[in-house]
Structure 1
């Protein structure tokens, strides 16, 4: 959950007075980092992952499954080892938005590839065991992207009620928010800056018995206008940040050798982001309803969208500076590389950026491409300001820069080194949905790490125009997009130099074609290229065998031979004896679904449709 500090946070009415100060000094801090690190070279390849867990309470007598709001207590116990000896722990545990969430990362970064890859799955298994050892007998953890019945009546233990003073939600109680001040302040300040509650609207899956206004039959809509999203038929409406930030993901972060490599990797991973979102899709149920989307990203995007009516473009600019075309949680808006393969035509999205920030960065010697990127991030206001951390030493701190950088939640994040640190230029890959089992999560972590190294070592070229990447993001959300949809993808990704019209460089491909290649041989497929790359890395037999197993699993997910979690979830619900084909996921259905998920993740039962014989 980005930048977290201790101290007193300011409510929006007070925080907005310091917004310009934070912005100006954030740019100064960035310039200091830039000057100290722009010529930095030869940092080692280090990397890590982040996995988010959901804490559950299972009633011993009724077997009902609910969210346990004891995550912060469990986290306190987990963090004791780090407090005693911070440099000698296997895992680092961190708070996340939900009081029912826990985030775990490796205690030390992985270094290189090689036999290091054999330890990834073992690390995930042991993390799960360490959390479990700190749970009560009636508690379990599970790696689900979205808790199915969040926002329904009586879905937490202890029981909590909505309409609190922080979120002011008619569905979510404030008690689901992590007790750290950052999270409640973030929630309230997004709502206050926007001028009203966030409005999350996603399509409901229309089954044969689904009433058109099912969601509004249950809860009161805040709008009476028939054209508003709330009132559209077959719509799931949610009204609080927790519906998005309460979802779980799988992230990876990589330190590259220098800034230029980091910029290039950033670009190509951004193109792969919607492809990986589709491939890892595991979010089919929201607020107790089957949705007509497969992925969580748009829900989070809408859950933290703090734009005003003017910034949306609904009213003329008067109190706001810019019309902004995206939420602060969205896909990237510009490529960053200075390499010859980046054609200006690929950056075809009109980029709104803060002119003062841009001019200051240019005057400091930063190039136009990178200056525009950071100036674009700085069109946003800081949302969480600590009263005792406003006037700080800009040479020694980056708090004001991180305040804005860390609340621009994009599919890929370009991360400068912290001040006076041994840490180098990094890229964070953010779109993947967390998977049910440690095997699946390890497979995707390893895949992305090898893909990233191949991008650099083989000079792979994934460039398509940014607007096509945005279209791919929309496509990735569609139900069954892995097997049913096509994505814009480059025809030639090896030794591919700009040549001819941009629109002749890409075409529509299925996920199967992108990963496994075309049957006519016109496109080789990403996995084939990676297999060849792995064979040249001289891994030992054990490492090569495991990597090929992960690649084979991903190949079968891409082809549709193995289902995504979203597809498997839909099938489970629709075949459940209690399902009435009305889109409603009842408590009984959810209980059986989650019990089945726990059994699969613990290896008690096999699920061939989801995992084949891999787990």
Structure 2
């Protein structure tokens, strides 16, 4: 979720008044950090995943599965281990936006050894069991991107009613009690994003038109306390949502890498950017929004709109008067520019940036591309500020991170924290979370291996930023993996400029199957390249077996042999006996779907169409035993 400063949140009026102060001080802090750390060298590869979970309570008697607002209670217990032995924990737990959510990461980063790839899944299983042990019978931890009936009546345990006239979000669907109560940042963000925008956020996602869905799908919100604002904002044939929780209440899977220096971090930031839409499509897992089947498979547009604090002027709906810029995107969206010198020629989209900030950065001897990137981030206002953090030293970083961490983009370029052993890092952010630890581990291992291949083979995956944006739109479409083609670079072993190839001839339209598995005489395929890299490495048998299983899952997803999670969920709903072909996902369908998902993730319900036959029989080893073996091999202490 980003920076979690402690303190007393300021009102929006005071926060707005201090916005320029935060920006000015944040830029000074960045300049100081940059010059202190720009020559840092020799950091080794460290990496780790972030998995977000949601907590559900199964009511078997009434066939209901509401969200359980218990995240804060779990964190109080889970964080005790870290507080007592911070250097000796296998997992670290953090709050997330919703009270039914919790985020788990490895207790320490994984390293550069190939054997570490054999720890990822074991650690994920450990995290799941560690948290699950704290839950009561019938309460389950699920890795589910979006809760199907979020915002439908009373959907939580305990249940609450909405207060559209007085709540932080003014939502007619989501009560404030859904927001995580243990940190003031979350409710403050909700209130301030709405107030900065000048109205409630408006999320409109196309509804899936089934055989009995109304020809013109329009809902009536008058019985929900709507004062007319929601009815006006809702589009025909769309699922309308009106609160930050619909987006930030989704779960995702992220990976962060430490680079050896700033240049390598900038290279990875760029080279992974064209892969963001591809991984978004492969991990698609959210085809239901507010109890209705959507005509998209991903959360991305939902979460982008849920935190869109742009005013009508900034959205181009009114002439600029009180604001400086017309801003094409929400603060949660795909990146707008590459950072490495090789990427500059592919920056074909106008980059809205603060010219004064850019000039200040250039005068501080920060190169054009990085200065432009920071000046682009700093067109945004702070939307959360604490009284204790207003006045800071130039050597601090909170004002910089305040802006940086609320630019939620597909990639994040991360500056080393002050007084820390942590180096320059890159965060890969597009993936939707999967049902099983096996799937989540597969995508983490795949992305990390790609970084090794990119750096070892000096690959060039760059295409124009405008084409990445086109791919992001395609990636969210229903059945994108099977039905869409994506722009992707054809010759990935040269820079293009070296052999005189025209820009438009360097890339072409490919299916995800061709990108992942290869296309004869056109593209070698990402997984064949990974296998070529591995063939020259000394990999122990267990690690090799694990990696190959992970790669097979991704190969089969890409080829269409296996379903994406979104396609599987959509199929489950449409085949359910109580589904009426009207796009509505009722309580019974929701209950049966989540029960089945719980069975799949704990290994009691086979699902070969989603994860393949090889996973139907689970190992009988206990998780602590599996963890001990994995760490033993990785640390070469067996």
TM range (shorter): over 0.9
> How has the CA–CA distance of structure 1 residues 343 and 34 changed in structure 2, closer, same or farther, with 3 Å as cutoff?
closer
Partner-residue secondary structure (3-state), 1:497: coil
> How has the CA–CA distance of structure 1 residues 225 and 59 changed in structure 2, closer, same or farther, with 3 Å as cutoff?
closer
Partner-residue secondary structure (3-state), 1:427: strand
Q: Is 1:238 aligned with 2:237? A: no
Aligned to 1:432: 431
Q: Is 1:310 aligned with 2:313? A: yes
User: Does structure 2 retain, via aligned residues, the 8 Å contact 1:487–1:511?
Assistant: yes
Partner-residue secondary structure (3-state), 1:205: coil
Q: What is the TM-score normalised by the length of structure 2?
A: 0.93
Partner-residue secondary structure (3-state), 1:309: coil
Aligned to 1:89: 89
CA distance in 2, matches of 1:222, 1:257: 55
CA distance in 1, matches of 2:600, 2:362: 54
CA distance in 2, matches of 1:217, 1:573: 24
Give the alignment partner of residue 177 of structure 1, picking from 176, 179, 198.
Answer: 179
Give the total of aligned pairs: 608
Moved more, 546-555 or 440-449: 546-555
CA distance in 2, matches of 1:12, 1:318: 20
Q: What is the TM-score normalised by the length of structure 1?
A: 0.97
Q: Deviations over 1:389-422 (max 9, x none)?
A: 1111221x20000000000000000001111211
User: Does structure 2 retain, via aligned residues, the 8 Å contact 1:579–1:585?
Assistant: yes
CA distance in 1, matches of 2:423, 2:218: 48
Q: Following superposition of structure 1 onto structure 2, how do residues 267-306 of structure 1 map, counting pairs within 5 Å?
A: 267-306=270-309
Partner-residue secondary structure (3-state), 2:56: strand
> Once the 2 structures are TM-superposed, how far is the Cα of residue 213 of structure 1 from its aligned partner?
4.8
Aligned to 1:479: 478
Aligned to 1:565: 565
User: Does structure 2 retain, via aligned residues, the 8 Å contact 1:224–1:231?
Assistant: no
Aligned to 1:399: 398
Partner-residue secondary structure (3-state), 1:202: strand
User: Does structure 2 retain, via aligned residues, the 8 Å contact 1:215–1:237?
Assistant: no
Aligned to 1:144: 144
User: Does structure 1 retain, via aligned residues, the 8 Å contact 2:230–2:242?
Assistant: no
> Once the 2 structures are TM-superposed, how far is the Cα of residue 541 of structure 1 from its aligned partner?
2.0
CA distance in 2, matches of 1:496, 1:262: 18
CA distance in 2, matches of 1:229, 1:87: 50
Q: Which runs of 5+ in 2 are unaligned?
A: 616-638
User: Does structure 1 retain, via aligned residues, the 8 Å contact 2:284–2:565?
Assistant: yes
User: Does structure 2 retain, via aligned residues, the 8 Å contact 1:41–1:258?
Assistant: yes
Moved more, 428-437 or 105-114: 105-114
Q: Which runs of 5+ in 1 are unaligned?
A: none
Q: Is 1:500 aligned with 2:501? A: yes
> Once the 2 structures are TM-superposed, how far is the Cα of residue 225 of structure 1 from its aligned partner?
11
Moved more, 537-546 or 522-531: 537-546
Q: Deviations over 1:123-169 (max 9, x none)?
A: 00000000101111121010000000000011110011112521110
Q: Is 1:515 aligned with 2:519? A: no
> Once the 2 structures are TM-superposed, how far is the Cα of residue 229 of structure 1 from its aligned partner?
6.1
Partner-residue secondary structure (3-state), 1:110: coil
CA distance in 1, matches of 2:312, 2:35: 38
Q: Is 1:186 aligned with 2:185? A: no
> How has the CA–CA distance of structure 1 residues 473 and 480 changed in structure 2, closer, same or farther, with 3 Å as cutoff?
same
User: Does structure 1 retain, via aligned residues, the 8 Å contact 2:496–2:503?
Assistant: no
CA distance in 2, matches of 1:218, 1:306: 23
CA distance in 1, matches of 2:235, 2:215: 10
> Once the 2 structures are TM-superposed, how far is the Cα of residue 60 of structure 1 from its aligned partner?
4.6
> Once the 2 structures are TM-superposed, how far is the Cα of residue 440 of structure 1 from its aligned partner?
0.2
Q: Is 1:259 aligned with 2:258? A: no
CA distance in 2, matches of 1:602, 1:577: 25
User: Does structure 2 retain, via aligned residues, the 8 Å contact 1:223–1:230?
Assistant: no
User: Does structure 1 retain, via aligned residues, the 8 Å contact 2:496–2:506?
Assistant: no
User: Does structure 2 retain, via aligned residues, the 8 Å contact 1:223–1:231?
Assistant: no
User: Does structure 2 retain, via aligned residues, the 8 Å contact 1:216–1:231?
Assistant: no
CA distance in 2, matches of 1:253, 1:423: 12
Partner-residue secondary structure (3-state), 1:65: coil
> How has the CA–CA distance of structure 1 residues 586 and 214 changed in structure 2, closer, same or farther, with 3 Å as cutoff?
farther
Q: Deviations over 1:7-49 (max 9, x none)?
A: 1011211111110000000001101110111111111100100
CA distance in 2, matches of 1:195, 1:225: 14
Partner-residue secondary structure (3-state), 1:79: helix
User: Does structure 1 retain, via aligned residues, the 8 Å contact 2:338–2:344?
Assistant: no
Partner-residue secondary structure (3-state), 1:428: strand
Q: Is 1:611 aligned with 2:615? A: no
> How has the CA–CA distance of structure 1 residues 496 and 354 changed in structure 2, closer, same or farther, with 3 Å as cutoff?
closer
